[in-house]
């Protein structure tokens, strides 16, 4: 009875909450303001891990906080339950991916309930249920109708281990697969794409709206991913070719410095130009192409890579000066950026310079980077002349350093003397009027490749006619059910296992009844998570994906919480789909997540936890050892949420001790509810009310650790009054204990509920409203008054904020420091601004 026993407390309250459903959000007549707090839903691979323990602790603080602030809060949870790991595990163990997935969900759900995140479980959803993925298919059809879903042959990122296609976003910077770790190669396949590039500008521009409420890092990553560059397309006439070749350049000012042209070897253009060359060149080109296809995009773009290429024996004419430029094929030019061809300006572009030096091609400087751009500011400084600062490199061919800085144009006809920016403008004007160029924009972002040759995903709702036609499955025939995996060979081989489901794949053409085949690919699971936040609004509605009226009420999500590993892909896709739904008139907002909190990672001894490193800390073990509340409190107390938590540096034992201390404090309260607060210990009341006043803005700024620290102070102050002051019957002790229980609800709900009961209340403390601080108790007990003598600060006095001017002046004149400082000079004037300032003026 009198010992803090977390296991008993957990066992006592979990069934009570289960029965009372305090976190259900459904009353349609509720007139309170609303908040939608969403934690990224888990992928059910095995039981919960420490990363989950962190995100669901942090998200829950926010949800519980808004509830206590009088908001009607929606805080749902579900399972991102389609995907490759289920399929790989299933193959390894010879079991059905569905069985594996739903077993894991059962396990995670049990842990999640024990963990006591305040979810509305009645809205639970599984993306692998037909009731959910039916609407993925619906969404696909809406995009298809709009021309935003299309199929094309293209070079795709191929994971040779998982035998599947990867989105660009799934290829790590070192060129390996995010999933299997294998080196990703290129393969030509017919694939489904979503046309996210149509939305590139909006995805970029709307990031401005999120500034301040999304982490700056995430905004930057999204900007770079979309990667908009502004420049010009320039047309080069090609000898022996009817139509000119356009190149995209961000530096049209350097056109006079172009000394050769380079095309991507793996582009149609490369193949076509090579086909017109001599047999020897054709052969060299073929050999080169094969080599290129076995390297990654990352390798190709890396600047320190040895430059390779083949001269195609073809020539382009520079539209600015009529010069004949040799055309090369080289892999540093990418087939799918711009036009897959560049005008090479080796003097001013490092990659072009490296290439020119490797193949002994001419280098011509056209921007004098030593010439002042504005006014008469000398560019050669004295520091350069005395050797303490390096002279700017002048001859790129000799130094190997391209001149990329500002300067004035030279060797460029009518552009000579202009600054770089003016030359860009002038050149674009000239090209436009000649009809040989125009302003152009390019993006790094590519269309979203959504088809996967795997089993465990949403079937694509398209039927292919014998004549090659594509027939969308009529909406009233959705869902296209995923057939049972029984009898299917799931091992990856580059074609979808669904192709082997003969009865499923062969269907009559819905238009004319002729034999036809279902599309056998499944959708990238990022489609599932691109709109799930809307499905939570009415997860059981079988007539529509989501209810626009509910969306009007709840969406967009007010607070989204999850890992920074989703900074690009998931968030970008969800933003894109939201904009599409907006354009189709299904929602009235264009950004899905108003505010975003990215938590850091839970690491151990500075290293990421992983099975292979053998340094895993298990969720279940930690919870069993320290209790749910202590683990949750540790997550909140560890530091700013965006920082990593090193589990070796934090103390769940310390958290448990604090919780026991708080709990004993409630136990030691001997007064009854309703006691007159005013009669309580004033000093303790000040501590309580200061806490009540400060905690809300700290929570809203995600300074959870500071709130926990302040709560610890409050418990200490209360303990002192119980043990050595007015005792456990004092009203202020009760007030502090009730405040602690209400605040602990944010972090450690079991302990909080138990305290609440001991303090004489019915459950649930989670629904108790945050108390307003009494402003009269917030006035500081002392302020600092500054005393100046002849304008210099000579003393500081701690005084009551209510001190009168007379008293303050008296104190100042009596100060030993002031008496010493004035000495025997005569005081001619004293200005007093109580309670902050006394200014004494003397006559020497």
Among 159, 349, 354, 629, the residue binding ligand ANZ under the rule CB under 6 A is 349
Interface segment toward ligand ANZ; rule CB under 6 A; list 185-193, 214-222, 330-338, 798-806: 330-338
**H helix or E strand, kind and range, residue 669:** none
Residue number, 39 or 354, with CB nearest to ligand ANZ: 354
Residue 336 Cβ vs ligand ANZ, minimum distance, rounded to whole Å: 7
- Residue pair 200/228 in contact (Cβ under 8 Å)? The answer is yes
Residue 245 Cβ vs ligand ANZ, minimum distance, rounded to whole Å: 12
Q: Does 338 bind ligand ANZ (CB under 6 A)?
A: yes
Residue 261 Cβ vs ligand ANZ, minimum distance, rounded to whole Å: 10
Interface segment toward ligand ANZ; rule CB under 6 A; list 18-26, 50-58, 342-350, 642-650: 342-350
- Region at 163 (left for phi over 0; alpha for psi -120 to 50; beta for the rest): left
Q: Which long-range contacts (CB under 8 A, 24 or more apart) does 691-696 make?
A: 691/739, 691/743, 692/739, 692/770, 692/771, 692/772, 692/773, 693/773, 693/778, 695/743, 696/65, 696/69, 696/770
Q: Does 492 bind ligand ANZ (CB under 6 A)?
A: no
Interface segment toward ligand ANZ; rule CB under 6 A; list 114-122, 202-210, 334-342, 463-471: 334-342
**H helix or E strand, kind and range, residue 391:** none
Q: Does 251 bind ligand ANZ (CB under 6 A)?
A: yes
Query: Could you tell me which residues are annotated as the binding site?
Result: 611
Q: Does 348 bind ligand ANZ (CB under 6 A)?
A: yes
Q: Does 371 bind ligand ANZ (CB under 6 A)?
A: no
Q: Does 340 bind ligand ANZ (CB under 6 A)?
A: yes
* Cis bond before residue 731 (omega within 30° of 0): no
Residue 145 Cβ vs ligand ANZ, minimum distance, rounded to whole Å: 32
Alpha-carbon distance of 243 to 271, in angstroms, equals: 16
Residue number, 10 or 308, with CB nearest to ligand ANZ: 308
Q: Does 254 bind ligand ANZ (CB under 6 A)?
A: yes
Tokens of 739: 């405040």
CA 175 remoteness from chain centre: 21
- Going by C-beta distance under 8 Å and a sequence separation of 6 or more, which residues neighbour residue 703? 640
Per-position b or e across 769-806, b if 16+ CB within 10 A of its CB? ebeebeeebeeeeebebebbbeeeebbebebbeebeee
**End-to-end distance of the chain based on CA atoms, in angstroms?**
76
Dump strand ranges (E) for 239-377: 245-249, 260-263, 309-317, 324-330, 341-344, 367-368
Among 14, 45, 180, 229, the residue binding ligand ANZ under the rule CB under 6 A is 229
Q: Does 379 bind ligand ANZ (CB under 6 A)?
A: no
Q: Please state, as a whole number, how many other Cβ atoms lie within 10 Å of the Cβ of residue 130.
A: 15
Phi, psi values for residue 125, rounded to 5°: -135, 155
Among 68, 101, 128, 249, the residue binding ligand ANZ under the rule CB under 6 A is 249
Residue number, 264 or 692, with CB nearest to ligand ANZ: 264
Interface segment toward ligand ANZ; rule CB under 6 A; list 153-161, 211-219, 333-341, 779-787: 333-341
Among 132, 214, 328, 337, the residue binding ligand ANZ under the rule CB under 6 A is 337
Interface segment toward ligand ANZ; rule CB under 6 A; list 167-175, 344-352, 418-426, 778-786: 344-352
Among 345, 527, 631, 684, the residue binding ligand ANZ under the rule CB under 6 A is 345
Residue 276 Cβ vs ligand ANZ, minimum distance, rounded to whole Å: 21
Question: Helix 6-20 and helix 628-637: axis angle, to 10°?
Answer: 90
Residue number, 342 or 482, with CB nearest to ligand ANZ: 342
Q: Does 420 bind ligand ANZ (CB under 6 A)?
A: no
Among 148, 342, 537, 733, the residue binding ligand ANZ under the rule CB under 6 A is 342
Interface segment toward ligand ANZ; rule CB under 6 A; list 65-73, 343-351, 450-458, 764-772: 343-351
Q: Does 364 bind ligand ANZ (CB under 6 A)?
A: no
Dump strand ranges (E) for 195-335: 228-238, 245-249, 260-263, 309-317, 324-330
Alpha-carbon distance of 393 to 504, in angstroms, equals: 68
- Tell me if residue 101 falls in helix, strand or coil: helix
Query: Could you tell me which residues are annotated as the binding site for ATP?
Result: 611
Side-chain half-sphere of 762: how many Cα atoms within 13 Å? 3
Site for ligand ANZ, residues 256 to 285, rule: CB under 6 A = 264
Among 10, 104, 442, 751, the residue binding ligand ANZ under the rule CB under 6 A is 442
Site for ligand ANZ, residues 533 to 572, rule: CB under 6 A = none
Alpha-carbon distance of 799 to 793, in angstroms, equals: 16
Residue 624 Cβ vs ligand ANZ, minimum distance, rounded to whole Å: 53
Phi, psi values for residue 392, rounded to 5°: -65, 140
Q: Does 334 bind ligand ANZ (CB under 6 A)?
A: yes
How many residues are listed for the chain in this entry?
844
Residue number, 168 or 254, with CB nearest to ligand ANZ: 254
Residue 566 Cβ vs ligand ANZ, minimum distance, rounded to whole Å: 25
Please state whether beta strands 462-465 and 437-443 pair in parallel, antiparallel, or not at all (unpaired): unpaired
- Tell me if residue 690 falls in helix, strand or coil: helix
Residue 171 Cβ vs ligand ANZ, minimum distance, rounded to whole Å: 17
Q: Does 168 bind ligand ANZ (CB under 6 A)?
A: no
Q: Does 343 bind ligand ANZ (CB under 6 A)?
A: yes
- Going by C-beta distance under 8 Å and a sequence separation of 6 or more, which residues neighbour residue 380? 370, 391
- Tell me if residue 191 falls in helix, strand or coil: strand
For binding to ligand ANZ (CB under 6 A), which residues are involved?
229, 248-251, 254, 264, 333-334, 337-338, 340, 342-343, 345, 348-349, 442
């Amino acid at each position: 009875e009198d010992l803090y026993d977390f296991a008993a407390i957990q066992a006592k309250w979990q069934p009570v909450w289960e029965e009372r459903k305090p976190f259900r959000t459904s009353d349609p007549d509720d007139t309170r303001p609303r908040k939608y707090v969403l934690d990224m839903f888990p992928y059910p691979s095995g039981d919960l891990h420490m990363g989950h323990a962190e995100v669901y602790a942090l998200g829950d603080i926010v949800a519980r906080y808004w509830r206590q602030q009088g908001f009607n809060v929606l805080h749902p949870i579900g399972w991102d339950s389609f995907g490759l790991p289920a399929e790989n595990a299933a193959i390894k163990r010879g079991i059905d991916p569905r069985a594996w997935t739903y077993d894991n969900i059962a396990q995670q759900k049990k842990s999640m309930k024990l963990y006591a995140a305040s979810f509305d479980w009645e809205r639970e959803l599984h993306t692998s249920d037909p009731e959910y993925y039916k609407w993925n298919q619906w969404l696909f059809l809406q995009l298809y109708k709009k021309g935003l879903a299309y199929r094309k042959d293209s070079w795709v990122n191929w994971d040779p281990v998982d035998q599947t296609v990867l989105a660009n976003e799934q290829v790590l910077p070192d060129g390996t697969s995010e999933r299997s770790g294998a080196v990703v190669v290129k393969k030509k396949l017919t694939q489904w794409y979503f046309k996210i590039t149509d939305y590139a500008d909006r995805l970029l521009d709307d990031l401005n709206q999120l500034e301040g409420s999304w982490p700056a890092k995430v905004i930057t990553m999204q900007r770079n991913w979309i990667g908009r560059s502004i420049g010009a397309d320039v047309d080069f006439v090609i000898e022996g070719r009817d139509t000119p070749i356009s190149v995209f350049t961000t530096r049209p000012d350097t056109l006079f410095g172009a000394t050769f042209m380079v095309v991507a070897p793996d582009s149609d253009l490369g193949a076509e130009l090579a086909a017109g060359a001599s047999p020897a060149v054709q052969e060299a080109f073929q050999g080169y192409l094969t080599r290129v296809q076995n390297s990654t995009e990352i390798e190709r773009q890396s600047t320190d890579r040895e430059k390779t290429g083949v001269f195609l024996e073809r020539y382009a004419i520079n539209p600015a000066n009529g010069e004949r430029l040799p055309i090369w094929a080289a892999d540093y030019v990418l087939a799918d950026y711009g036009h897959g061809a560049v005008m090479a300006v080796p003097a001013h572009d490092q990659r072009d310079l490296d290439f020119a030096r490797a193949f002994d091609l001419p280098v011509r400087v056209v921007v004098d980077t030593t010439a002042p751009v504005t006014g008469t500011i000398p560019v050669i400084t004295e520091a350069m002349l005395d050797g303490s600062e390096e002279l700017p490199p002048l001859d790129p061919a000799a130094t190997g350093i391209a001149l990329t800085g500002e300067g004035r144009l030279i060797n460029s006809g009518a552009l000579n003397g202009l600054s770089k920016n003016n030359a860009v403008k002038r050149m674009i004007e000239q090209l436009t009027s000649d009809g040989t160029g125009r302003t152009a924009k390019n993006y790094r972002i590519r269309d979203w490749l959504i088809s996967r040759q795997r089993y465990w995903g949403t079937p694509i709702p398209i039927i292919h006619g014998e004549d090659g036609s594509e027939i969308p499955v009529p909406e009233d025939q959705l869902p296209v059910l995923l057939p049972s995996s029984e009898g299917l060979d799931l091992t990856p081989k580059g074609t979808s296992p669904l192709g082997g489901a003969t009865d499923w794949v062969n269907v009559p053409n819905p238009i004319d009844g002729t034999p036809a085949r279902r599309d056998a690919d499944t959708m990238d699971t990022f489609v599932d998570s691109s709109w799930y936040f809307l499905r939570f609004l009415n997860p059981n509605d079988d007539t529509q994906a989501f209810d626009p009226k509910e969306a009007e009420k709840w969406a967009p999500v007010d607070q989204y919480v999850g890992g920074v590993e989703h900074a690009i892909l998931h968030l970008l896709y969800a933003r894109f789909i939201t904009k599409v739904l907006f354009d189709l008139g299904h929602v009235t907002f264009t950004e899905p997540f108003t505010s975003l909190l990215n938590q850091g990672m839970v690491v151990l001894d500075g290293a990421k936890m992983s099975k292979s490193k053998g340094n895993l800390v298990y969720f279940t073990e930690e919870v069993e050892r320290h209790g749910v509340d202590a683990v949750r409190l540790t997550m909140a107390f560890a530091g700013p949420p965006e920082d990593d938590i090193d589990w070796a540096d934090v103390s769940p034992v310390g958290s448990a001790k604090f919780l026991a201390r708080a709990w004993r404090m409630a136990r030691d309260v001997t007064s009854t509810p309703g006691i007159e607060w005013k009669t309580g210990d004033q000093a303790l009341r000040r501590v309580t009310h200061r806490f009540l006043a400060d905690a809300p803005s700290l929570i809203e700024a995600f300074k959870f650790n500071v709130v926990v620290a302040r709560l610890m102070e409050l418990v200490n102050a209360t303990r002192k009054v119980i043990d050595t002051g007015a005792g456990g019957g004092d009203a202020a002790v009760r007030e502090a204990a009730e405040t602690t229980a209400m605040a602990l609800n944010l972090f450690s709900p079991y302990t909080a509920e138990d305290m609440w009961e001991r303090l004489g209340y019915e459950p649930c403390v989670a629904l108790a409203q945050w108390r307003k601080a009494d402003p009269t108790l917030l006035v500081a007990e002392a302020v600092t008054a500054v005393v100046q003598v002849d304008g210099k600060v000579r003393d500081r006095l701690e005084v009551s904020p209510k001190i009168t001017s007379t008293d303050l002046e008296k104190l100042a004149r009596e100060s030993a420091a002031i008496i010493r400082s004035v000495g025997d000079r005569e005081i001619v004037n004293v200005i007093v601004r109580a309670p902050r300032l006394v200014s004494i003026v003397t006559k020497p």
